[in-house]
Amino acid sequence: MKSTARFSVDPRLSALLGESYTSSERALRELVDNAWDAEARVVKITLPTVLSEEPVVIEDDGHGMKHHEVRQEYLRIASPRFSRKGERTPNLDRKVKGRRGIGKFSGLTIGDEIEVVTRAQGVKTTLVISKELLLDAGKDIEEVDLPISEEPCDPEVHGTAITIRKLNPRLNFPQPERLREQVAYDYGREMGFQVRINGEPVLRHDVQGTTFTKEYEMPDGTKAEATWTVTEKPLPGRKSGLILRSGEKSVGKPHHWGLEHDEQLSNRLINRVVGEVKVGSETIELTASGGDVIESDKGLQMLTKAIQEDVKSSLTEIHGKEVALAKGRWTQTMKRRLEAVPEHRRAIAEEKLERLISRSYQEGEKEERITILINLVLDALEMDEYWTVCREIEEAEKSDVLIFADALDKFGLSDLAFIAHQADRRRAFLDGLDDLAKDPKTTEAQMHTALQHNLWIFGNEYSLMSSNRQLQTIIRDFTDKIYRDKDAADRPDLLLAANVENRHLLIEFKRPAIPVGRDAEHQAVTYADTLTGHIGVDLDILVVGGSVDPKLQPTYSGKKTRFLSYRAVIANARTQLEWLIKQLNEKP
């Protein structure tokens, strides 16, 4: 005997559909998608403070839902908007985001109760969905009675407000910054649509770098387009990578498409890639919530392999150009400093520094550390013991291979040993400078004398700067002219330095016994204005004293003016130096 059978829908389905979202932030983004489809122009999200009883509230000014729409469309499970009303919204011609008709349950990821208040055409409809009520019903979900009411409202008011209460205590509260990142991928650049989280607008800032675009043929005959930028500097790990966009909707998190497993690429280099991959809405299989991909999808696997090859190629291209430019900058600095080295030593020194730069870049070292190493090696080149090893290598090349191998081993050890030695010398210098800065009798001139040949103490960006006879003459003529008839105590103590890239730095030294503030800034800017007329370049300005006036607000300082205390400068330099010594000691 044949008969028929039917599915019965357990109320637990609502909870399961809500729990298909992998984070609270992704669940809330689904509700922003709903507001987009409802042609809202502004969405306001209010997140609760930690450990409070406050709800999550999402309000929009979209067209809202009429009472019968709530009953017949909103409460219809797996009935997506695009299947009912088309691929585009009627008035603003937006690409519809709703694809599965289960976004309404996303709030149940976060809390146990959802209140929907929607206004349209002079009627306010209120619906409450309780997870507890659904789970305790003990019957098909379509037979569960949900509280719903309607009442008149201002016909000019429209939109929907969703309030999520009884937040899940096992989950962390939604984080504003994480939600901001999630929403920015899709809506940070949209005109006519603004999302505000706790009152702050969501924006997606453009990054500086070189951009690439590539199109791919997919197995279903559609086109996929990847656009990525190799940024000038690495981004934080969670902000880098390419995000997949399926039918205008972002899927999952940005990731590196397998490049993180390539042994030829450092993490620092990979984190310079940011962008997106666009595919059709039906091109790649997604999970039920549409929040992630099914990794065994053939189209995805093909696309991943192609993107890996193209992104790696672009990284190699950009990185190669940067290394060449960096070598050029350092080569100019090295040649200038090596002019004082005897000619017979120069070739060996240049070869050694070239090797250091290449090796450091290959190992993914930061440019700041490479700069420190170069300067320490240049210091070490002045020491006779270093050249003793070099000569031994030269002689060994003409004799026994074993002696040559031993000499090479010594050369490598000598390299690290003398870098460490120079680091120790700098540490001793900092100790002496600290004592000088603590002495209330120390003058500006004494601090100037101690620091004029040690600008590395102010930071790596200044380590390749130095003063020269021409710049000293400019400063002397300037002070003689401006302060000719004034008391010697009123004369400023200034240092003008430059590097091979024609970047100039003006330092005004104050006594360690006095603080620096607005008066010092005004003086320094006045000096800079006058000096700029003499040398025709912009100046960075450092004002250094015993302390920085605590009333000084950095917000109001010029972009090129910094205030520093001797103690803070010394402490920062010591921290970097101790880090370097630790790194050297850890080298095998």
DSSP 280: -
CATH number of 209-311: 3.30.230.10
Question: Tokens for 34?
Answer: 């709903």
Q: Which amino acid is at 574?
A: R
154: left (phi over 0), alpha (psi -120 to 50) or beta: beta
Q: Which of 161, 157, 78, 79 is nearest to 126 (CA)?
A: 161
- pLDDT at res. 562: 83
Map residue 361 onto helix, strand or coil: helix
In the 3-class helix/strand/coil scheme, how is 208-245 assigned residue by residue?
A: CEEEEEEEEECCCCCEEEEEEEEECCCCCHHHCEEEEE
CA distance 350 to 67: 80
Domains 12-201 and 209-311 share a fold: no
Task: List average pLDDT for each run of 10 residues in the chain, which is 588 residues long.
Answer: 56 54 83 92 92 90 92 78 73 81 76 93 93 77 85 94 90 85 82 91 79 93 92 80 86 87 82 90 81 86 94 88 71 67 66 65 59 64 52 50 46 52 76 86 87 80 71 77 62 78 81 83 77 72 86 58 87 80 58
Cβ atoms 206, 216 nearer than 8 A: no
What DSSP line would sit under 422-486, residue for residue?
HHHHHHHHHHHHHHHHH-TT--HHHHHHHHTT-GGGG-GGGTT-B--HHHHHHHHHHHHHHTTTS
Domain boundaries, the chain: 12-201, 209-311, 340-433, 439-580
Strand-strand pairing, 561-565 and 209-217: unpaired
Q: Which of 461, 474, 561, 456 is nearest to 501 (CA)?
A: 461
CA distance 138 to 132: 11
CA distance 462 to 499: 8
- pLDDT at res. 402: 47
Question: Tokens for 87?
Answer: 């691929």
CA distance 316 to 314: 5
Q: Which residues on adjacent β-strands are paired with residue 163? A: 57, 115
Strand-strand pairing, 273-279 and 504-509: unpaired
CA distance 503 to 254: 38
Cβ atoms 498, 407 nearer than 8 A: no
Cβ atoms 128, 146 nearer than 8 A: yes
CATH number of 12-201: 3.30.565.10
- pLDDT at res. 413: 45
- pLDDT at res. 108: 82
Q: Which amino acid is at 407?
A: A
- pLDDT at res. 410: 46
Cβ atoms 544, 568 nearer than 8 A: no
- pLDDT at res. 403: 46
Which parts of 389-435 are beta strand (E)? none
Question: Tokens for 253?
Answer: 């998190």
Q: If residue 417 lies in a helix (H) or strand (E), which one and from where to where?
A: helix 401-438
DSSP 99: -
- pLDDT at res. 118: 96
